[in-house]
Amino acid sequence: MPADTAALIEKVRRDPEFLALERRRSRLAWGLSATTAAIYFGFILLVAFAPSWLATPLGTGTTTIGIPLGVSVILSAFVLTGLYVRRANTDFDLATERIIERLK
């Protein structure tokens, strides 16, 4: 790595605006991770402690409450990941680029 690149990386790492950006990114990542864990563990707790409720049929068919609930657990992972990617690709990346341009 060239010396000027290493110096720029150090300047960026010490920049107060970048540190604030990293805190925001970390807070979002931990929040979405906690949400994902709550959804998954909540579903597992329902399976463990309320299996009869999950087995309740929806209408007159064979589909039970557990099927759409299980599908929604999987879909929530995609949605939460999409939220993070969208935010990272817009706000965080643009802010990082502005910081780097300012410090060059």
pLDDT above 90: residue 4: no
pTM of the predicted protein model? 0.84
What are the pLDDT digits (tens) for 38-96?
999 999 999 999 999 999 999 898 999 999 999 999 999 999 999 999 999 999 999 99
d(CA 76, CA 93): 24
Largest CA distance in the chain: 71
pLDDT in tens, 29-54: 999 999 999 999 999 999 999 999 99
Helix or strand or coil: residue 72?
helix
